[in-house]
Structure formats: C-alpha cells, structure tokens
Amino acid sequence: MKIDPTIFKAYDIRGVYPSEIDEQAAYKIAQAYAKLVNPKVVALACDVRLSGPALFESMKNGFIDHGVNVVDIGIVTTDMLYFAVANYKYDGGVIISASHNPREYNGMKMVRAGAVPISGDTGIKDIQKLVLENYAYKHPTPGTVSQQNVQKDYLEKCLSFIDKAKIKPLKVVCNAMFGPAVKNVLGLSLPLTIIPMNAEPNGSFPKGTPDPLLEENRIETVAQIKKEQVDLGAAWDADADRFFLFDETGRWVPGYYLTAFLAKYFCSRNPGAKIIFDPRAIWATIHEVTEAGGAPVINKAGHSFIKERMRKEEAVFAGEMSGHYYFKDYFYCDNGLIPFLLILQIVSESGQKVSKLFDEYFIQYPISGEINIDLPSPSEGEKILSRLSQNYGDAKQDRTDGLSIEYPEWRGNVRASNTQALLRLNVEAKSEELLKQKTQELLNLIKG
C-alpha cells in the first residue's frame, strides 16, 4: 500500500483515518523517527481519538523493532507529552493526536530530547522521505515497553507557576471538549467549585469538532456561565494544549487580549523580559510589553517557529491568537493549564472581576477576529498578497508571516493557512467604525 505524502504537514503529521493515515503508516513513521533521531528511549502517548489505540500499537511496534525502548504514558494532553520528555530526560516522544480536528482525523506531534519540536524544517520532511522510500529496520535486540503515569509530576510542575495559598474559592465552568483537560483541573486540589462540561473523555466527539475557537462551540459554555453565575469560564481543545477564557458574563476573551495581559504579568516579574507573539494583531501586546519595560518580539505563527525563537531569544513568555501560550520555565513549550492557573491567581489577588481586567482591551483595541477566506488553490494566495501589497503601497509593510499592512489608525494581516487552502485575515483599528470599514475593504480586495 502506498502512503499518502500529504499527511506530512508544516508542524506535524495529520490525515483522515484510515484513508490517509493508518496502522502501516504509523509503523513506518516510528521506524523513520528512530532512524532520524536515533533515540534509546521515547515517550509514546495518544489523545482520546477512537483510532488512537490501533495507531499507538503500530507505532510502539515500529519503535521496539528498531531497538528503541518505549515508555507508554497513556492517554494524555499534548503538553503532558512535552513535560514527560523534558522532565524525565527521554530522548524524544510522540503523541498520536489530531489536536482540534474533526473526529475522523488523527496524526502525530513529535519532539526530540528536551521537548524540542520536530517540524517541517527540522525533521518531518526527512521522516517523509524515509517513509516514502519504504525504510525498514529490525534490531537484533528489540526494545522494551514500560508504563509511566505522569499526571502527579505534571500537575506539580504547572502549580509551580503560582502560589496555591493565594487562590480564593472561585466558581468556574470548565469545558474539556471531551478531552482530558478537566481531569487535570480536578487533580489540582484548589479551593474551586468546578462546573464540568463535556469532561468525560470521548473520542467520538459527540458535539462535533472539538475546537473552542469555533464560535458555535462557545455557545454552550456561555449559556452555562450565565446559568451558574460563576467567576469565570474556561475551555480547552481536545488535546488541551490551547486555553480559552470567558469572563463572568460569558464574554469570550480573545487570545490576543490574553497574550497582552499575560505579557504584562511576566514583564512585571521579569524586568526587561523578551515576549514573543505572532503578527496577526500586535498593538495591545506591544503597548503592554513596552509599558512594563519588556522587549516585544514579533515572530511567524506556529508552535515550532515560536519555540525556536523563544530559545534563541531566551524569551520568558510567548502567546498566539490561536490560544497557545508558551513558557520559558515550561521547557519553552506551550501549556494549556498554566494560563488557567495564572488567571485564577490574578483574579484571587486583585479581587477584580475578569470582565474588569479585560474591558480596556475591548475598548482600546477592537479587532475583527480571524476571518477565513477559501482559496481555489494554495498558489492563489501569493497573487492576492501581491495585489494587496501594491494597493497599499503607502503603508508600512511587513512579511514576517504573510503580509502585514500598517497605518497609524489601522492595520491588517493576511496570511495563508499552513494546513488548508485558506487565507486568514485579521484587522485591528483605533475605532469600531474604522475596523468595520477596513475589514470590508480588505475582504472586497481579497475576493477581487
């Protein structure tokens, strides 16, 4: 059987099971990973997807046939895999996961020692080449398999970012989107009243795509927040490496505002700290970081690019609009539980409502939110960007990631998706009226 070359993406491996990615592919990928990384011990995990156990079994066999010892850490969140590899000093690790994709998808996120990501530029293409060349190897001494429960140590690590004693009794809605996030929250031993939602792991995702970034997936959380009269709401995607915040009124707090807010927090504790963020919307974060005496650094979106830059700059914190938050003291990796804990502490200490903490961002920094525009083909994207660049010839322009166009009163970023034939548009402006006007103008130009 021929393996589909399109499953090898910019940040990970992903495809529809079993038509694009199956057991044979999983075995081959494990073998290729072993050849490329040459590990003695790898951590292996999966998310809650129904195809996970079968793919896990095949990857495990691919590793042990290659002479690699496998540590099975079970069904975990993606950030727990990062933790296991870095904390226990394994030579690498793989989680079988398709993150927030619909239920029919599965895939792999892979790291080297220290939880350093393997991306398109740093190994995925090499793995693809080995797989497509049908690489196979059987070691005279097969690897071993052992089990490790990482939850206790993982929760301890996450809790090290806050002072547990400062957390006041708070009432919180927590939506796990049928992933394992709420199980971790319940293991924290904090004085919280948790209203759990979709908390029992279920890889058939009975309510659809497990992604809180989709507006239709937030309706249920908002309704529950209003009904229960809580202090705040939290949601995670299926593999729980992204975090989403709601205030006590049910208002969703965009990742852009949370990045700016947490950037300010880290700068106040680390004078002169470097903070990394993506170019989709930037004004609020630049303001907060410079006001707090930090150094703002704009970088291309995507977890592997952000992590690489963080290590290079020794940045303390990084955030993306998509809900990924990265911490130097968490092995320069993203984590979905730490931002939740930080918000609990800040709310407890300030005595303020979450809405009050974020009102100013909504007023000062109106944004369009990410608008996705379908493309007939990926190659069409570059033509559109050239057209926009010419049209706004008098703007300050930047090509860090797609095209950013900036004027004193508004700015826009248009970038191609790394995973689909889509253009993603984000606009920010100094007023709601100008925001509406410029968003429409850009949409008209993009659609030609």
Counting beta carbons within 10 angstroms of the beta carbon of residue 136, is it exposed (0 to 12), middle (13 to 18) or buried (19 or more)? middle
Q: Does the N-terminal peptide bond of residue 18 adopt cis geometry, omega within 30 degrees of 0?
A: yes
- CA torsion 184→187→188→189, rounded to 10°? 160
Check whether 282 has a pLDDT greater than 80.
yes
The pLDDT value given to residue 351:
97
pLDDT tens digit sequence for 300-338: 999 999 999 999 999 999 999 999 999 999 999 999 999
pLDDT for 448 equals 84
Strand-pair partners of 194: 172
Torsion on CA atoms 116, 120, 123, 128, rounded to nearest 10: 140
Name the nearest CA neighbour of 353 among 227, 286, 253, 207: 253
Distances 7 to 3, 17, 125, 192 between C-alpha atoms, Å: 9, 11, 11, 41
Mean pLDDT of 126-148: 98
Question: Contact at 8 Å (CB) between 82 and 154?
Answer: no
- For residue 80, pLDDT over 70 is answered with yes
Average confidence (pLDDT) over 245-265: 98
Annotated catalytic, 99? yes
pLDDT attached to residue 106? 98
First to last CA, the chain: 43
How much is the pLDDT for 419? 67
Question: In the predicted model, is pLDDT for residue 207 greater than 80?
Answer: yes
Q: Give 1's pLDDT tier (boundaries 50, 70, 90).
A: low
Which pLDDT tens digit goes with each residue over 347-391?
999 999 999 999 999 999 999 999 999 998 878 999 999 999 999
Quick one: pLDDT at residue 161? 98
Q: What is the pLDDT of residue 140?
A: 98
pLDDT score recorded for residue 417: 83
Among the ranges given (25-29, 45-49, 414-418), the one the predictor scored with the smallest mean pLDDT: 414-418
Sign of CA dihedral 76, 81, 87, 91: positive
Q: Which residues have C-beta within 8 Å of that of residue 290, sequence separation ≥ 6?
A: 296
Closest CA to 255 of 157, 352, 361: 361
Beta strands 13-16 and 192-197 are unpaired
User: CB-hemisphere CA count at 13 Å for 265?
Assistant: 22
DSSP of 122-137, one letter per residue? GTHHHHHHHHHTT---
The rounded mean pLDDT for the chain is: 97
The catalytically annotated residue of 51, 58, 99, 304 is 99
Please check the confidence at residue 418 and state whether its pLDDT lies above 80: no
Is the model's pLDDT at 186 over the cut of 90? yes
Question: Which amino acid is located at 263 in the chain?
Answer: A
CA dist., res. 228 & res. 238, Å (int):
24
Give the model's pLDDT for residue 376: 85
Q: Which of 1, 13, 2 is nearest to 126 (CA)?
A: 13
Across the beta sheet with 192-197, the strand order is: 192-197, 170-175, 232-236, 243-246, 252-253
CA–CA gap between residue 227 and residue 283 (Å, rounded): 35
Q: For position 377, what pLDDT does the model report? A: 81
Report the distance separating Cα 238 and Cα 102, nearest Å: 10
pTM over 0.95: yes
Cα–Cα distance for residue pair 167/124, rounded to 1 Å: 42
List the alpha helices (DSSP H) in 15-118: 23-37, 52-65, 78-87
- CA 180 vs. chain centroid, Å, equals 15
> Contact 63/34 with Cβ under 8 angstroms?
yes
**CA neighbours within 13 Å on the CB side: how many for 80?**
29
CB distance 28 to 66 below 8 Å: no
Closest CA to 240 of 313, 334, 139: 334
Per-residue model confidence (pLDDT) at position 159: 98
Given a cut of 80, whether residue 196 has pLDDT beyond it is yes
Determine the average pLDDT of the residues in 64-78. 98
The strand ranges marked E within 141-212 are 145-147, 170-175, 192-197
408 CB contacts (<8 Å, ≥6 apart)? none
- Residue 7 DSSP class: G
* Tokens of residue 259, six digits: 């990045």
- How far CA 154 is from CA of 29, 80, 179, 184, 337, in Å, comes to 27, 7, 17, 9, 10
354: closest CA among 230, 240, 259?
A: 230
